[in-house]
Structure 1
Amino acid sequence: MSTDEIKIPEWLRALYPFAPKSFQTPHGARMSFLDEGPRGDEAVVMLHGNPTWSFFYRDLVKLVAPTMRCVVPDHIGMGLSEKPQDYSYRLATRIADVEALVASLGLKKVHLVVHDWGGAIGFGYATRHSEMIGRITILNTAAFVSDRIPGRIAICRAGGVGEFLVRAFNAFAWPATWMSMHARKLKEDEARGFLFPYDSWANRIAVHRFVADIPLEKDHPSRATLEEIEWRLPLLADKAKLVVWGAWDFCFNDAFLDRWREIYPDAEICRLRDAGHYVPEDGGEVARAKVRDFLLNLKPVSSHAP
């Protein structure tokens, strides 16, 4: 059903002209998601990270949905989804939410597009359901253990101080609107769109919980989940993969790209030298067309990474 309770202002609808739908997760929260394009049991599932939402994929949906079904959830606490203050905002729960959504839609084949935290979530799903997975697009993300963390993110992760900065001052989502770009600046309404769901202390809960869920420590609650995902990544070695990488990412830098090369040496690589973390935004039509052509298998994807 449509999420009629969500009021999308006209300025936002001009950029995000969709009718979100609702799904109740196994943990009892309302998930907003896009379901665009021709109906069938095959779909592209696009998974965003932190602090974005399905708005991040809006232009890619417009390119792909005329030909292939596109399912784009807002993780609980993010975007237009419910923002409960007592939810289990852990990686394992995120994966279970996606599993339940996909099952509810009756999908039998899933192509993935993943970015930021969407990488761990998406590969968490894919490594458990490898028989359902088609093509995989990787956008500046990780699905393996790393001790690399920029100082500015570490501050936001630091106990009560980090939570206060993120939730009181929007000190994660707001800086991302300019720190995640390099080739260009976001237009005013584009930046407003990214920030739209995160307008209060309560509505920023999951932005902080995502930061807190980075499993740096060996005894972190999500560490075992991520380690299992990493261990199972070879199960997807035979899947066609495209990596579209913004080289000016302050967080997921080329060290992460090199790790992906090691894990999947046959993946096609499109390294955009002037793009930042928000690679579909910063890489523009070039980045989005690469992903579209790969998903729709229109032509071979060329690699021009050094």
Structure 2
Amino acid sequence: MARPGFTPDPALYPFESRWFDHPIGPVHYLDEGEGPPLLLLHGNPTWSFLYRGIVIRLRKHFRCVAPDLPGFGLSARPSAYGYTPGDHARVVGDLVRHLDLRGLTIMGQDWGGPIGLRVAADERPRMRALVMGNTWFWPSEGRAMNAFGYVMGSAPVQSLLRSRAVFVDRLLPLGVLHPLAPEVLDHYRQPQVEALGREGAAEFARQVMAARPWLSDLEDDVERVLSDLPLLLTWGTRDPLFPVSLIDRFRVVFDRVSVERLEARHFIQEDAPAEISRAIAAFLDPATANPGPANV
């Protein structure tokens, strides 16, 4: 079972690694702190490293669980695995049941949003609240998103994505307002050095269009099962693929929506970890609304 051959720098990633022995292979995750559980789900091309600044700030008051989806971060790169959002949602659901998380808040960004909402709908009795940022839960629409999906799913681009770490080298730097330090960018690049480490990122890109039926089913279930859950939107206002107008799509479905607008691009956890942490703390427990500074 292929696994990445690198070790994160503890100065940047000062956490204890844990492993979930799943049938598809070892799934890496963080489980830091005590208190109400907060499940933090990454998208493409990131991993739990994305949430380091939030985990550092919130683990004093919350149990922060942040997995690496199969094919990402330190998790296994199984060859007999689809790497679709549906596949990932099943694995994350298995982890939630394995850890028996109850009174759960799920945060999702990018593909972590629809994956997290799928898990929330499937595990509704366990749920307390939702935090979503620069994400979606419906079949792709709009000129920018559809163009992105068609281009990323084309055969030439798919071949390129599987041969090089394009998302990390080209698109990740464009998705942040503040340039990433070389050592931070390297922590995103290292999991994709080997070919199997690029499979998940390439398939996520293809799934923007290919997952339309799955997203359509998810949209129905979100409206049917999750609309009464309190929702916090932590939204980067400088993201061209996920403009602030999408906030209204969430407001139509959810009964109780709070919004924290961020001076951030797509990867909000890199641009605004302190602001996100304060917003989550105030949303879930006002007594912890100032979780304190962090050096990460």
Same fold (TM over 0.5): yes
Match of 1:226 in 2: 215
Distance 1:167 1:6, change over 3 A: closer
Query: Offset of 1:230 from its aligned partner?
Result: 0.6
Q: In 2, distance between residues paired with 1:7 and 1:62?
A: 22
3-state SS of the aligned residue for 2:199? helix
Out of 282, 287, 294, which is 2:271 matched to? Answer: 282
Match of 2:293 in 1: none
Q: In 2, distance between residues paired with 1:203 and 1:265?
A: 39
After superposition, residues 194-205 of structure 1 pair within 5 angstroms as 194-205=188-199
After superposition, residues 96-175 of structure 1 pair within 5 angstroms as 96-148=90-142, 149=145, 151=147, 154-159=150-155, 161-175=156-170
| Unpaired segments ≥5 residues, structure 1 | 301-306
| Unpaired segments ≥5 residues, structure 2 | 290-296
1:266-302 CA distance string (max 9 Å, x none): 3011122x310011221242233212332334378xx
* Residues 71 and 196 in structure 2, CA contact (< 8 A), matched pair in contact too: no
Total equivalences in the alignment: 285
TM-score between both structures, scaled by the size of structure 2: 0.88
3-state SS of the aligned residue for 2:108? strand
* Residues 48 and 56 in structure 1, CA contact (< 8 A), matched pair in contact too: yes
Match of 2:51 in 1: 57
Match of 1:77 in 2: 71
The question of 1:247 aligning with 2:237 is answered: yes
Out of 232, 244, 249, which is 1:259 matched to? Answer: 249
Distance 1:170 1:154, change over 3 A: farther
3-state SS of the aligned residue for 1:135? strand
1:209-259 CA distance string (max 9 Å, x none): 111122x3xxx4x33322221112132222221101001113222242221
* Residues 168 and 200 in structure 1, CA contact (< 8 A), matched pair in contact too: no
Query: Offset of 1:191 from its aligned partner?
Result: 1.6
In structure 2, what residue type is equivalent to 1:283? A
Task: Identify, as 1 or 2, the structure richer in helix.
Answer: 2
Q: In 2, distance between residues paired with 1:280 and 1:5?
A: 23
3-state SS of the aligned residue for 2:194? coil
3-state SS of the aligned residue for 1:72? strand
* Residues 112 and 122 in structure 1, CA contact (< 8 A), matched pair in contact too: yes
Match of 1:34 in 2: 30
Query: Offset of 1:5 from its aligned partner?
Result: 9.0
Out of 175, 180, 183, which is 1:189 matched to? Answer: 183
TM-score between both structures, scaled by the size of structure 1: 0.85
1:114-141 CA distance string (max 9 Å, x none): 1010111110011122221112111111
